[in-house]
């Protein structure tokens, strides 16, 4: 894209030249996220403050450029890939915790703070920030809010949206606005929920006020192996129906366990078809009771093996299988489409069975695992990217999965967002009226479509 030299110079002077990247090798590093989508921005701004973002938005408005906000680039739906080129605003340098009030249990942070740093700072004061996407050591809180990130602990503690008290953001007209508790007017409609999960299409988030809660005193971990998927799935439903709410309830199907066995040589009982990893947290008494109740329930459901511990080091051993999933799958095939679908918990076994039928139909491997406690499962369609026919079959398999999920009353995205990768499937799930309403909201916030164009809405 052509930049007029004079306005560009003035912009660089206003911002500080060192915050503006124009060299191709620099811009390339902001051209991708975790998906296979790539698009190189024409210019990258390394914002250090809300003022830098305001200056950039005014420059973009005057010169007619698009803007794509970017956190840490760990997104799994293409959200931070600048489809229409233009400017990428990276918030990686806006990484300060601005205020921490342990008494009133809130923290105000800039969007570039890494999720794990928020958790660690809260923990230092005996407090807890529960949302824990598996990427928590590298993802930014701005990206978490923009995607409404979930994670392992959603089943008990909810997703990012349950911990955002207020936001500050830059509008597409280049103004700074506040919402929720950062705005302080309590009786007006709160815009916070609209911005959460908006994937950088409505505004650029510059400050986030987060709710913290009291940290659980202790936790216990269980690894339970089942001879069938149905028994594992039904056990999850029974555990929840009994009023036990695990902090974590992860399920792995046989296809994933086979991949781990191939990779790590792990020995599992013969006839293993599914594995549950459960964590109970609370007071020592609650944990003890919860573990024994889950154990009894699972024994009645013909569990082949149950391991349980309240020792943190031993628990780490039980987590080994879960942590081995990514490297194990990487060995199966170079191509992987990881879909984070969600179904009502009771439908989970049906969905996993359907996924294996689809795998057989398209002659592909589809290992599945995920957050069984809230019905959010990662369906991984593995393929050889060099083989265009196999890639085509993989895409058809994904569409089949989405159709099944919607028929089961579920959602095509549980946590990774729509971005580029799911925009063409939105119509499977939303009525024309619902799509139109979303578009009207986008038009109200961003009438000229300068923020993250080409995302969420099929064009
Ligand atoms: C190994 C791995 C495991 C993962 N596990 C999980 C998981 O368990 N749960 C989960 O939900 N996700 C998971 N993810 C996906 C990803 O980490 C999350 O979506 C995360 O929230 C993205 O944060 P980010 O800072 O990398 O954002 P980016 O990828 O940089 O951006 C994501 C979106 O947010 C927008 N955005 C970023 N910052 C702002 C801002 N300041 N204002 C407005 N919009 C903004 C971008 O435009 C883009 O649309 C995982 C990813 C990886 C690589």
Query: What is the whole-number distance in angstroms between the Cα of residue 310 and the centre of ligand 1?
Result: 32
**The ligand 1 atom nearest the CA atom of 203:** 43
The CATH architecture that domain 218-326 belongs to is 2-Layer Sandwich (3.30)
Give the sign of the dihedral formed by CA 51, CA 55, CA 57, CA 58.
Answer: positive
Percentage of residues in the chain with pLDDT exceeding 70? 100
In which band, very low, low, confident or very high, does the pLDDT at 1 lie, cut at 50, 70 and 90? low
CA distances from 236 to 88, 224, 287, 291, 345 (A): 43, 11, 17, 13, 8
Residues in Cβ contact with 300 at an 8 Å cutoff, skipping those fewer than 6 apart: none
CB of 166 closer than 6 angstroms to any ligand 1 atom: no
Using the predicted structure, report yes or no on whether residue 277 has a pLDDT greater than 70.
yes
**The ligand 1 atom nearest the CA atom of 33:** 29
Model confidence pLDDT, tens digit, residues 311-325: 999 999 898 888 889
Element (DSSP H or E) covering residue 362: helix 348-362
CATH number, span 97-214:
3.30.465.10
pLDDT number for residue 346: 87
Query: What is the whole-number distance in angstroms between the Cα of residue 157 and the centre of ligand 1?
Result: 19
Burial profile 415-425: b = 16 or more Cβ within 10 angstroms, e = fewer: bbbbbbbbbeb
Percentage of residues in the chain with pLDDT exceeding 90? 88
Element (DSSP H or E) covering residue 182: helix 180-183
Fold: same for 218-326 and 333-439 = yes
Using the predicted structure, report yes or no on whether residue 261 has a pLDDT greater than 70.
yes
Model confidence pLDDT, tens digit, residues 72-124: 999 999 999 999 889 999 999 999 999 999 999 999 999 999 999 999 999 99
Q: Say if residues 253 and 368 touch (Cβ distance below 8 Å).
A: yes
Helix 312-323 to helix 254-264 angle (10° resolution) is 100
Q: Say if residues 438 and 457 touch (Cβ distance below 8 Å).
A: yes
CA distance 451 to 67: 5
Domain ranges of the chain: 5-90, 97-214, 218-326, 333-439
Write the DSSP string, 58-116: HHHHHHT--EEEESSS--SSSTTS-TT-SEEEE-TT---EEEEETTTTEEEE-TTSBHH
**The ligand 1 atom nearest the CA atom of 138:** 26
CA distances from 119 to 97, 114, 144, 162 (A): 12, 9, 13, 15
Average pLDDT over residues 375-398: 95
**The ligand 1 atom nearest the CA atom of 74:** 26
Helix 50-63 to helix 5-15 angle (10° resolution) is 170
CA distance 236 to 41: 46
**The ligand 1 atom nearest the CA atom of 69:** 47
Query: What is the whole-number distance in angstroms between the Cα of residue 89 and the centre of ligand 1?
Result: 15
CB of 159 closer than 6 angstroms to any ligand 1 atom: no
In which band, very low, low, confident or very high, does the pLDDT at 22 lie, cut at 50, 70 and 90? very high
Query: What is the whole-number distance in angstroms between the Cα of residue 27 and the centre of ligand 1?
Result: 19
The CATH architecture that domain 5-90 belongs to is 2-Layer Sandwich (3.30)
Model confidence pLDDT, tens digit, residues 173-189: 999 999 999 998 777 88
CB of 34 closer than 6 angstroms to any ligand 1 atom: yes
The CATH T-level fold of domain 333-439 is Alpha-Beta Plaits (3.30.70)
Query: What is the whole-number distance in angstroms between the Cα of residue 9 and the centre of ligand 1?
Result: 32
Query: What is the whole-number distance in angstroms between the Cα of residue 70 and the centre of ligand 1?
Result: 9
User: Of 146-150, 201-205, 257-261, which range is least confident?
Assistant: 257-261
Q: Say if residues 452 and 199 touch (Cβ distance below 8 Å).
A: yes
Nearest to 242 by CA among 278, 309, 294: 294
Q: Say if residues 161 and 129 touch (Cβ distance below 8 Å).
A: no
């Amino acid at each position: 894209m052509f930049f007029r030299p004079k306005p560009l110079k003035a912009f660089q002077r206003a911002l500080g030249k060192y915050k503006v990247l124009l060299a191709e090798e620099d811009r390339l590093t902001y051209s991708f996220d975790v998906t296979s989508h790539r698009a190189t921005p024409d210019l990258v701004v390394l914002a250090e403050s809300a003022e830098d973002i305001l200056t950039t938005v005014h420059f973009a408005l005057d010169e007619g450029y698009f803007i794509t906000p970017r956190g840490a680039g760990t997104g799994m739906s293409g959200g931070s890939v600048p489809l229409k080129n233009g400017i990428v605003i990276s918030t990686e340098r806006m990484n300060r915790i601005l205020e921490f009030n342990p008494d009133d249990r809130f923290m105000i942070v800039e969007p570039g703070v890494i999720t794990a740093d928020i958790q660690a700072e809260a923990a230092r004061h005996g407090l807890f920030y529960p949302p824990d996407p598996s990427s928590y050591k590298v993802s930014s809180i701005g990206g978490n809010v923009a995607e409404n990130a979930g994670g392992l602990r959603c089943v008990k503690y909810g997703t990012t949206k349950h911990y955002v008290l207020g936001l500050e953001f830059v509008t597409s007209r280049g103004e700074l606005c506040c919402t929720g508790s950062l705005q302080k007017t309590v009786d007006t409609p709160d815009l916070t929920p609209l911005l959460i999960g908006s994937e950088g299409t409505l505004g650029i988030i510059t400050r986030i006020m987060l709710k913290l809660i009291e940290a659980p005193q202790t936790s216990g971990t269980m690894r339970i192996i089942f001879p069938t998927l149905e028994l594992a799935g039904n056990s999850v439903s029974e555990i929840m129906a009994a009023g036990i709410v695990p902090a974590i309830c992860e399920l792995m199907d046989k296809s994933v366990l086979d991949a781990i066995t191939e990779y790590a040589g792990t020995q599992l009982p013969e006839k293993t078809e599914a594995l549950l990893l459960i964590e109970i947290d609370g007071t020592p008494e609650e944990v003890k009771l919860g573990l024994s109740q889950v154990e009894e329930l699972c024994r009645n459901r013909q569990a082949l093996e149950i391991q349980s511990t309240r020792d943190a080091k031993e628990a780490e051993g039980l987590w080994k299988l879960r942590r081995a999933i990514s490297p194990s799958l990487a060995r199966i095939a170079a191509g992987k489409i990881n879909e984070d679908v969600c179904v009502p918990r009771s439908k989970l076994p049906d969905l996993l069975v359907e996924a294996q039928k689809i795998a057989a139909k398209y002659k592909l491997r589809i290992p599945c695992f995920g957050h069984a406690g809230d019905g959010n499962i990662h369906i991984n369609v593995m393929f050889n990217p060099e083989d265009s026919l196999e890639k085509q079959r993989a895409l058809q398999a994904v569409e089949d999965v989405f159709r099944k999920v919607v028929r089961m009353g579920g959602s095509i995205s549980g946590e990774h967002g729509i971005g580029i990768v799911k925009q063409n499937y939105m119509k499977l799930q939303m009525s024309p009226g619902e799509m139109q309403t979303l578009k009207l909201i986008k038009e109200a916030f961003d009438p000229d479509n300068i923020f993250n164009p080409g995302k969420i809405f099929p064009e």
